[in-house]
Amino acid sequence: MRGTLLYIGQRLVLIAVTTVLVSSIVFLLLHQIPGNAFLNETRQTPQALAAELHRYGLDLPLQSQYVNWVQGVLHGNLGESLVNRQVKITPLLVRETSVSATVGFFALLVTVGLGLLLGVVAALRQNTWIDYLASSTAVVGYSIPSFVIAIFGLLVFGHYLYLWTQGTFYYVPGWGKLEQIPVPALALGLPYASYVARLTRASMLETIRTDYVRTAWAKGLKARVVVVRHALRNALIPVVTILGPLITGIITGSVVIENIFGIPGLGKEFVTSILARDYNIVIGVFTFYAALVGLANLTVDVIYPILDPRIRY
């Protein structure tokens, strides 16, 4: 137990270091992009521009800007938006993260739930039509990129089924209704669900042939107990291993999905802020992403020894 806590502590420090490194690199690269946040302002004079640049400290040498920015971050202040004046970035990003996290959570639910279900059923019914159906569905699902599924979902639920759905699923302007979640969550989760299904099937096929599963049958345990407690529990170990990269994939995948569905989350901000050269937001978004990926991977690594007692930190 102490070992585990120590391990988590070390990992948290590493995540912090990574996050700082990522944001620094982004900071340096970002200022190499031509243009600035004020190019779209109407009636702009050179004097006005210079005044704006000065107001936000953008006329200072890069290293001074960096020092200023780091000082802000250390106080938990990521600055304010350059495009939408007076908007504080920290609360903005927190709000957007919670929107993205909601969609991401349901996408993960789709990924793990559907993936495990398909994988286990296919393995238990190996070489029957159920297996072939599940396996080929998985191959198709894995081969189609999520943005294609997203557009397909828009067409089906928003257009073809408009009479039935009345646009409930996403067409209503604004965000915040529960009905708006399923379609984007499916689009985001399906490709990964297919991946999980394929992995689970292979892993289950391996475990149901092991000696200890035969022992479980020989003990006279109920089929459900043998499959879930003895076979699936062991089959999950390799599946959990890929869950880390998978969550990362869902987080980055949200950039595309949120733009297609117009979800006001971190992923949408990612794109709009770069296009607007809203320096502070861009760096903030990247910083959040870096921390999120790190924390997701840490969570997976903490679950791992619970599943497999042979692993200890």
User: Of 4 and 71, which has the nearer Cβ to another protein?
Assistant: 4
Is the Cβ–Cβ distance between 204 and 124 less than 8 Å? Answer: yes
The secondary structure of 15-52 as a DSSP string is HHHHHHHHHHHHHHHHTTSSS-TTTT-SS--HHHHHHH
DSSP, collapsed to helix, strand or coil, labels residue 80 as strand
Rule CB under 8 A: choose which of 70, 209, 228, 252 binds another protein. Answer: 209
Window 229 to 268, contacts with another protein (CB under 8 A): 229-230, 233-234, 237
Does 223 help bind another protein (rule: CB under 8 A)? Answer: yes
Per-residue x/- track, 151-190, another protein (CB under 8 A): ----------------------------------------
Give Cβ neighbours of residue 182 (< 8 Å, ≥ 6 apart): 106, 169
Strand partners, 80: 88
Identity at 232, one-letter amino acid code: L
User: Of 49 and 205, which has the nearer Cβ to another protein?
Assistant: 205
Q: Minimal distance in Å, beta carbon 216 to another protein?
A: 7
For 290, the token pair is 């870096």
Map tokens 């880390």 to a residue. 244
Residue range at the interface with another protein (CB under 8 A); choices 102-110, 220-228, 272-280, 295-303: 220-228
Q: Minimal distance in Å, beta carbon 255 to another protein?
A: 37
Residues belonging to the chain: 313
Rule CB under 8 A: choose which of 215, 228, 252, 299 binds another protein. Answer: 215
Q: Cα separation of 278 and 198, whole Å?
A: 42
Q: Cα separation of 154 and 292, whole Å?
A: 28
Q: Minimal distance in Å, beta carbon 212 to another protein?
A: 4
Q: Minimal distance in Å, beta carbon 232 to another protein?
A: 11
Does 307 help bind another protein (rule: CB under 8 A)? Answer: yes
Rule CB under 8 A: choose which of 214, 228, 252, 299 binds another protein. Answer: 214
**Alpha-carbon distances of 100 from 106, 107, 122, 234, 267, rounded to whole Å:** 10, 10, 32, 32, 7
Map tokens 């903030």 to a residue. 284
Does 308 help bind another protein (rule: CB under 8 A)? Answer: yes
Q: Minimal distance in Å, beta carbon 58 to another protein?
A: 57
Give Cβ neighbours of residue 86 (< 8 Å, ≥ 6 apart): 80
Does 309 help bind another protein (rule: CB under 8 A)? Answer: yes
For 268, the token pair is 């949408």
Rule CB under 8 A: choose which of 221, 271, 300, 303 binds another protein. Answer: 221
Write out the residues near another protein by the rule CB under 8 A. Answer: 209-212, 214-223, 225, 229-230, 233-234, 237, 307-310
